[in-house]
Structure 1
């Protein structure tokens, strides 16, 4: 064997380096998948929570305990869920900056959905 001919210190360093390389490769393979799954689940949880607030009517009640500045901060929060409403004529309220083909896809999915809750994914490129 090649390792037997090397001094003990070099053998230890080679084993140590090999162990570090194996752990690094394992982490590089595991972390992206676990982070992707975590953030996907977190995003869906935020959307579902926003939908519950929307359907419960809490969204339409004026917050009594918060000053106006706090309300503005809530609207600017990255976790704020925005809703797209459309009528039978597929007119969208409020006007939305998303591309028209994506909005039409949302409408098509909403009209064909038979379950109360379903998760969709759409990749949006741009700003």
Structure 2
């Protein structure tokens, strides 16, 4: 269960930070994206806290060295996927919720 929470924290945090960028072509279709773009200070603060929480969860779960290494890989993955998929306007809350539920179920069943 901790890995799912960590993955959600990392992806959500990076998505929040991505939506506060001035350089990226941002979506204005979703209500969440609009809110994040209209309130960049709050979005940046919460995004950074979520990424740090992801690092701390993984460091507590796997140990300091392996946890930080895994969190760094997870952050790079979140960055690549967000930058590749977000301009296609394919990231929606229902997709993220369905994927998270599937990951949680798999983690719960096999751990």
Q: TM-score, normalised by structure 1?
A: 0.23
> Which structure would you say has the larger Rg?
1
Higher helix share: 2
Bigger RCO of structures 1 and 2 (CA < 8 A, at least 6 apart): 2
